């Protein structure tokens, strides 16, 4: 198994995505039991928007995060160009 060394920005964006995803999961669970909490809904929507921005920056530099129509690809097909999770 060969580890691929990437620049610091790659790891920074990936860490930001993981942090925002964690917050979104927690807010989602909270909102399942508190569906009328407008502050939590507002926070969820802000985090969802932030996640889209970070994901766009990541994908424009390093390729798609998800497959199956959730991310766009360049030509040629770029899904398999990014390092796999076990390579970073």
Name the phi and psi angles at 62, rounded to 5.
Answer: -125, 0
Query: For the whole model, what pTM was predicted?
Result: 0.77
CB 43 within 8 A of CB 31: no
Q: Tens digit of pLDDT for each residue in 62-84?
A: 888 877 666 666 666 666 677 76
CA dihedral 64, 65, 69, 72 (to 10 degrees): -20
- Res 1 pLDDT > 60: no
CA dihedral 72, 6, 84, 73 (to 10 degrees): 10
Of 59, 6, 51, which Cα lies nearest the Cα of 27?
51
């Amino acid at each position: 198994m060969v580890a691929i060394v990437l620049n610091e920005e790659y790891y920074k964006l990936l860490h930001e995505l993981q942090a925002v995803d964690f917050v979104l999961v927690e807010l989602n669970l909270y909102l399942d039991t508190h569906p009328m909490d407008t502050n939590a809904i507002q926070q969820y929507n802000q985090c969802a928007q932030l996640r889209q921005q970070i994901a766009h920056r990541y994908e424009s530099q390093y390729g798609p995060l998800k497959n199956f129509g959730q991310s766009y690809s360049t030509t040629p097909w770029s899904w398999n160009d990014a390092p796999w999770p076990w390579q970073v």
